[in-house]
Amino acid sequence: MPYKTVIKFEDIFAKKAPFMASSIGRLRERFGDAWEKGLEQTLDAVSGGDTEKLEQAAVGYIRFSLETEKLQRRFAAEGHYLSKSHCDTAKEVFENPDYMFSTYLPGVLLLNYLWPHEYGHLCYFRDEFMKLIAESSDRRFCDIGVGAGFYSRLALSTTDDVIGTGYDISDHALAFARQQMEHFGFSGRWKGENRDVTFDVPDEKWPFIISVQILHLLDDPVALLKGMRKILAPGGKGFISVAMTAAEIDAIYVYNTMGEVREHLETAGFRVIKERENAAYAQRGNDPVPRLATFIVE
Amino acid sequence: MSIERVQNVFREVFGRDDLVITPELTARDVKDWDSFNHINLVIKLESTFGIEFSTDEIAGFSCVGDILEVLRKNGVDC
């Protein structure tokens, strides 16, 4: 089935970044129709059918992706991430509307389909965690670190009675996420709130909590995990993932192994039910490979 | 001539001693010019000429001519 927006997006890639153009075809071949349909929906949500907005999103993604790749080489050479503290990244990234809307948010949204290991992470969420939400009678979730709103949107698509709350420290991220929810018709079932859960733990408890690739953006990941443990209702489940040895613009805490993440989860009082690790690509020489550590916990 | 040094960088990154660069050359014309090697190219050009490209410049390199133009802006005679 031809996906018109994906084809337009591919054309933009071919003009703006020919060195990336072949990646779409390779991903289409590898992941098939479900992948392409998901990308089409996401591109439509970000562009609203406007070619200029689609081009802006493509350029934002290209910029984000190249910047991340360059940071990764620097990390390989220096052994530490560029950012020093969460306070610094908050100012430079999360509170910077130009960077957030032009680069960061389109980047973190589209990588869900354009980075193979991120798509693997998405499939794990859909196959394992959305299944748990669907099987539950209480389908409320809390998404900590909403970002572009992608995982809140996926969770809301499980069934039409799922209700979600999203927390983020960036008003720009929350505005972008709200726009996504509106596009998919989920506004009535989702609310976003500016709150740092590490320091301001909500009173409400949820049967499902989601935290996608947030812990490594913090100075003290265990402090947030302890807050998350407090808001997980008895018998509830959490989907918590972390980027390991992945030098993103906002990354601070270097996780090297699944064991290090598991230890932090257990220190905060979680019990791991399932876990999965996936790498961005095969090892090239001795350079660290970006990997995702994903845990389903209770 | 710096243009020869630029060409040598391309030859080293793509492992092709016979590669001849022209301003019109794009990633479609060179095998293995993907995003990974695009960054290899950028890093090698930066170290060869002692400059640092901005992210916008790197994202705007759609052909060799774009790269040469930015190198010239950075004072490289090519």
Is A40 inside a domain boundary?
no
Q: In angstroms, rounded to a whole number, what is the distance separating the alpha carbons of residues A35 and A115?
A: 12
Is A178 inside a domain boundary?
yes
Q: Mark yes or no for CB contact B59/A59 under 8 Å.
A: yes
- Partner-chain residue, chosen from A15, A21, A63, that has the shortest CB–CB distance to B59: A63
Evaluate whether A225 touches A264 at the Cβ level (below 8 Å): yes
Instruction: Tell me the chain B residues in contact with residue A18 when contact means C-beta distances shorter than 8 Å.
Output: 26-28, 33, 62-63
Is A93 inside a domain boundary?
no
pLDDT of residue A253: 96
Q: Over the stretch A3-62, which tens digit does the pLDDT of each residue have?
A: 999 999 999 988 888 888 888 999 999 999 999 999 999 999 999 999 999 999 999 999
Is A180 inside a domain boundary?
yes
Domain count of the fold of chain A? 1
Evaluate whether B78 touches B68 at the Cβ level (below 8 Å): yes
Q: Mark yes or no for CB contact B62/A17 under 8 Å.
A: yes
- Rounded to two decimals, the ipTM of the complex is 0.78
B27 in A contact zone (CB under 8 Å): yes
B36 in A contact zone (CB under 8 Å): yes
Is A230 inside a domain boundary?
yes
pLDDT of residue B1: 59
Q: Mark yes or no for CB contact A19/B35 under 8 Å.
A: yes
pLDDT of residue B78: 82
pLDDT tens per residue across all 298 residues of chain A: 689 999 999 999 888 888 888 889 999 999 999 999 999 999 999 999 999 999 999 999 999 999 999 999 999 999 899 887 988 898 899 999 999 999 999 999 999 999 999 999 999 999 999 999 999 999 999 999 999 999 999 999 999 999 999 999 999 999 999 999 999 999 999 999 999 999 999 999 999 999 999 999 999 999 999 999 999 999 999 999 999 999 999 999 999 999 999 999 999 999 999 999 999 998 888 899 999 999 999 9
Which residue of B62, B63, B70 to mutate against A (max A Cβ within 10 Å)?
Answer: B62
pLDDT of residue A17: 87
The residue whose two tokens read 């991903």 is A27
CATH code of the domain containing A192: 3.40.50.150
pLDDT tens per residue across all 78 residues of chain B: 578 999 999 999 999 999 999 999 998 899 888 888 899 899 999 999 999 998 888 888 889 999 999 999 988 888
The DSSP letter of residue A289 is P
- Partner-chain residue, chosen from A15, A65, A73, that has the shortest CB–CB distance to B62: A15
Is A145 inside a domain boundary?
yes
As given in the structure block, the two tokens for residue B47 are 């170290």
As given in the structure block, the two tokens for residue A77 are 């050479």
pLDDT of residue A276: 98
State the nearest Cα–Cα gap between B3 and chain A, in angstroms: 21
Q: In angstroms, rounded to a whole number, what is the distance separating the alpha carbons of residues A20 and A11?
A: 11
Is A177 inside a domain boundary?
yes
A231 membership: H or E segment, kind and range: helix A221-231
Residues 6+ apart with CB under 8 A from B73: none
Evaluate whether B16 touches B41 at the Cβ level (below 8 Å): no
- The strand pair at A163-168 and A190-194 is best described as parallel
pLDDT of residue A265: 98
A16 in B contact zone (CB under 8 Å): yes
Q: Mark yes or no for CB contact B42/A70 under 8 Å.
A: yes
* Amino acid, res. B41: L
Distances (CA, A) of B4 to A27, A263, B67: 36, 53, 14
pLDDT of residue A21: 84
- Domain span at residue A133? 116-297
Size of interface A-B (CB pairs under 8 A): 53
Instruction: Tell me the chain A residues in contact with residue B26 when contact means C-beta distances shorter than 8 Å.
Output: 18
Is A79 inside a domain boundary?
no
Could you tell me the domains of chain B?
2-73 (1.10.1200.10)
pLDDT of residue A86: 87
Which sign does the torsion angle of CA A286, A290, A291, A293 carry?
positive
Distances (CA, A) of A149 to A65, A110, A131, A190, B16: 19, 12, 19, 10, 44
Instruction: Tell me the chain B residues in contact with residue A22 when contact means C-beta distances shorter than 8 Å.
Output: 34
* Amino acid, res. A11: D
Evaluate whether A42 touches A107 at the Cβ level (below 8 Å): no
